[in-house]
Amino acid sequence: MVKRLLLLTALIQSATLPTAYSTAGRSGPCNILASAGNPCVAAHSTVRALYSEYAGPLYTVQRHISSNCSGGAFLENTDWHGDNEQTQLSVRNIEECCAACAAQSGCNHFSLTHSSMQCYLKRGNRTPVPQVNVTAGYCTKGPTEAVNISVLEAGGFADIAAHEKFCPTGDCVISVVFDQSIEGNHLRQRISDGVVHSMVNASLHKISVGGGTNHTRGTAAHVYGMWFEQGDGYHIDVTRGVAIGNEPESMYAVMSGTHFNDKCCFDYGNSENTVTADGDYNAGAMEAIYFGNAHWKGNTALGSGPWVGADLEAGMYYGGGAQTVVNNASRPLTSDFVSLHLKGLTNGFVLKGADATRGEFATMYSGLRPDPKLACCVTKTDTYQPMRKRGAIILGTGGDNSNLGVGTFYEGFMASGVTADATDAAIQENIVAVGYRTLAQKVPPSHPL
């Protein structure tokens, strides 16, 4: 192991990177992967550059220029059926309720219960239903404007000042998460198979990074992560460089061990191409990191979760082979920030997880793919071996558009081929060096904010 780590260090120092980047500065995770022969085919983050010399945009924030709350949009004795209530607040009249919806990111319809003067801000699909003493309405939002949020310096953290200058009232959404790799696999709002997913509020989740040996050379900073609620989701259908069929791949993500649920599915990774899938959401069509504590038809791991899993379509799995249904070797990951890893081999898969602020990766599973005879929802003609990955990329949803999962996303990157354990160790070390902290956590005394 020591020899492999020394070899990897030598490779990093003499790395030959994609033509878009130089080798100056501290290596990012995609530099490490390129050095090991596993170049990134996707690199997404709202927190930092994932290449040492990346100096471009990380994400786009978007806001509406104006909103229309005209009386003609109000429906008396009517409510909206089938939508989760996003926010509840007290108001004096229907105009205030509509104005609150206009200011609330993601809200596009609302209702006011007159007996209590409670305003309910809602989003997503809606069906009007009769309801006495309730007034409902649409919020028709005007044109949008947007700005890209880049890194402060090459290889550095996001420019939070530019973010907050453009979004002073916190009413922006993230409309694009840029792919920092040369493949250009940028993530945008997922709209597929008639399902319109929401974009995340850009200013819900501020964290601290830096304050140690990291990409800002000892300077602490604030940045924003992506806080996903039910209904949010991003994707890109037509990609470049992403594994298809049974081709091997490796992917990593940093998420939160405190913001999750047991629904389907908070994913990041390889998914169905809904342009060409034509409703094919069967076993083996995708391979993505899943994080949460869902017990998909009984699948489980040790304790109560959350766990790192693999969404392989027709099920989220914490193990395979004889451990398809129960894998007690997979331990819960409950830290504020967690590092996750999924390795898709040609004849199996590997799951790893860790605290993203310290320690090393632990292998939660390594072995055969799920056994179709033990899996819940696999038809007699479907199998997980070989895989038939479609090569799209999703974030925050399941491959089949399921969007009831919740979670937090800070960074994720996908690489070609199967990474070595030494490479995984170097990636985890790089993530720890970022210095992820909640705002409640103190910065080391030598590096005050």
Task: Specify whether domain 2-62+145-433 bears CATH 1.10.260.40.
Answer: no
Hey, what CATH topology would domain 66-141 get?
Hepatocyte Growth Factor (3.50.4)
In angstroms, the CA 417 to CA 35 distance is 13
Q: Which residue has the higher pLDDT, 393 or 3?
A: 393
Q: Looking at 267, 400, 411, 424, which residue is catalytic?
A: 400
69-73, 215-219, 412-416 — most confident range: 412-416
Residue 444: the pLDDT is 40
The owner of tokens 């191409």 is 273
User: In this structure, is the dihedral angle defined by the CA atoms of residues 391, 393, 398 and 400, taken in order, positive or negative?
Assistant: negative
Instruction: Please provide the average confidence, as pLDDT, over all residues in the chain.
Output: 86
- 236-263 per-position pLDDT tens digit: 999 999 999 999 999 999 999 999 999 9
> pTM of the prediction?
0.81
Assess whether 313 carries a catalytic annotation.
Answer: yes
The angle, 0 to 180 degrees and rounded to 10, between the axes of the packed helices 2-13 and 421-433 is: 60
For the chain, the structural domain boundaries read 2-62+145-433, 66-141
45 pLDDT tier (thresholds 50, 70, 90): very high
Assess whether 382 carries a catalytic annotation.
Answer: no
Averaged pLDDT, 267-278: 83
- 188-241 per-position pLDDT tens digit: 999 887 788 889 999 999 999 997 543 444 568 999 999 999 999 999 999 999
- 326-365 per-position pLDDT tens digit: 999 999 999 999 999 999 999 999 999 999 999 999 999 9
Q: Looking at 313, 355, 411, 424, which residue is catalytic?
A: 313
Q: Which residue has the higher pLDDT, 264 or 216?
A: 264
